Chains A and B, each alone.
Chain A
Amino acid sequence: MDAGAAGAGGTGVDEHLLRTLTPRVTSILVRRGADFAAAEDAVQDALVEALRTWPAAPPRDPLGWLVTVAWRRFLDATRSESARRLREERVAEEPPPGPTESADDTLQLYFLCAHPSLTSSSAVALTLRAVGGLTTRQVAEAYLVPEATMAQRISRAKRTVADVRFDQVGDLATVLRVLYLVFNEGYSGDVDLAAEAIRLTRRLVAALDPRHDGHPEASGLLALMLLHHARRPARTAPDGSLVPLAEQDRSRWDTGAITEGVALLQGALGRDRLGELQAQAAIAALHADAPSVEETDWVQVVEWYDELVRLTDSPVARLNRAVAVGEADGPRAGLAALAGIDASLPRRTAVEAYLRERDGDPATAARLYVEAAARARSAAEREHLTRQAARLHTGPEDA
């Protein structure tokens, strides 16, 4: 499976091609003198038009078609605002410059859409629309909000970045965080957001490389995504319930994605600028490398969690480290590593339940699983934890 391909949507249009072209068209319009907000609106109109008309009349030159239609939309919109007449004349009369967009333009779009002045929900929405080439409706469906709400969120985001110059150097860390969020918090809809996040991160890494000495954290993020995405076929049981890492059928992991992820990670680590995303990817790679949970190199996993804790001082990293310690040095050591982690931290109770069970205390484990289920953040997680409690309450024959 091509992890970079996004959902086809059944429209008969090559949506993957459309999404790839979208940011390029926006960049071309901006180069011709359109401001970002107006260009982005015009391209969105052209995109919706393409989805409507391409099935019956596919263009010979899709990029040319999109530029022409979007430019016309931009001029129409500009004309309709009489206050902008002077600018319209200037823009309309100037011949469009010949050269099209470059990698720099793509990069600028990422920076603008994930500008630090935006809230994360706004940055996610704007990135998916302007860089990802999704329609407002698709973004709305993916996040389960009404289309009008999403449209409003996007236009507010555009107003927020209206004064940001397009050639300003952006904040890569924010871009990476936004892409991470798209990957990690996507709901299922018409569009596969995890695959979309991979596609966007892949393009980002490609755009970064020629200009810089490589950005190891960007490659680390792509590796992290690929390594987690590789497990997806094994993560859900046929009845839709969650299958934890330890119980996954590893023969169903996507070895192509794993190979690519590991190679990317090695390249990133070779640059000797460790960051939290590379450390997370390294942990995912160790799991990917293990034929079974027992054969996992837990000692090395713990060492990477030590790095992650050092880099982030995050309680979530400490919690996951306790799980790894439990595997490396036994449940007692895991429980000791749990001490000092705030009891209100999500999943902490679930981790303790797991460690208590392994430590031979099923009664406490069952009670903790019930408690953890009440605190679960997703229905699937709650169901999984309830099933664990049920398993302990109703006897080992179901284990």
Chain B
Amino acid sequence: MAKYLMLKHYRGAPAPANDVPMDRWTPDEVSAHMRYMEDFADRLRETGEFVDSQALAPGGSWVQYGGEGRPPVTDGPFAETKDLIAGFMVIDVDSHERALELAAELSAAPGAGGEPLHEWLELRPMLSAPTTVED
């Protein structure tokens, strides 16, 4: 089994095929999209491949150690940051092929007009613990 992180971006990913922002969809299209995402996670729970999924607030800040006895240094949020993560899902699957298949399925979530978004998702393998058998 191998764990993968699927990242959904607010910004920074190449534009999806169906590039209408969500607030320009009809309320029913928004509902259909949400339902697709939930059904997808439910299916993975049933197949035993779901680990975690979280949506992130867009605003955040950069934080840095400020030195001995000093408060943390904060900066941002940086509006000009090219990349912004909207949320993530962690899956635990048998193969890289399976991870690709699932990411593609998630990317097909419906958007404006009920058409698949073809959204670009970032798929990152998580480093695992060392295996017991090394030779």
Contacts and interface: CB of A to CB of B under 8 A. Distances in A.
Interface of A: 239-241, 366, 369-370, 373-377, 379, 382-383, 386-387, 389-391, 393-394, 398
Given A239-B31, A239-B35, A241-B34, A390 B59 contact: no
A149 to B, nearest CB: 14
**Majority SS at the chain B contact face:** helix
Given A374-B58, A374-B59, A377-B57, A394 B34 contact: no
A7 to B, nearest CB: 19
A188 to B, nearest CB: 14
Contacts, number: 48
A240 B41 CA distance: 14
A387 B31 CA distance: 8
A379 B54 CA distance: 9
A242 B40 CA distance: 20
Given A374-B58, A375-B59, A379-B55, A387 B30 contact: yes
B54 to A, nearest CB: 9
Interface centre among B22, B23, B35, B55 (most CB of A within 10 A): B23
Contacts of B59: 374-375
Interface in B9-40: 22-31, 34-35, 38
A393 B23 CA distance: 7
Interface residues of B, number: 17
B77 to A, nearest CB: 11
B95 to A, nearest CB: 27
Interface of B: 22-31, 34-35, 38, 55, 57-59
Nearest to B10: A374
Given A239-B35, A241-B34, A398 B23 contact: no
A390 B35 contact: no
B55 A390 contact: no
B30 A386 contact: yes
B30 to A, nearest CB: 5
B26 A390 contact: yes
Contacts of A394: 24-27
19 contacts: A239-B34, A240-B34, A241-B31, A241-B34, A374-B58, A374-B59, A375-B59, A376-B57, A379-B55, A383-B30, A386-B23, A387-B27, A387-B30, A390-B23, A390-B26, A390-B27, A391-B26, A393-B23, A393-B24
B27 A398 contact: yes
A386 B55 CA distance: 15
Contact of A389 (B23, B35, B38, B55): B23
A369 B23 CA distance: 9
Nearest to A389: B23
A390 B29 contact: yes
A98 B115 CA distance: 73
B34 A383 contact: yes
Contacts of B26: 390-391, 394, 398
A241 B57 CA distance: 18
Contact of A366 (B23, B27, B57): B23
A24 to B, nearest CB: 38
Given A390-B26, A394-B24, 11 more contacts: A239-B34, A239-B35, A240-B38, A241-B31, A241-B34, A369-B23, A374-B57, A379-B55, A382-B55, A386-B30, A390-B29
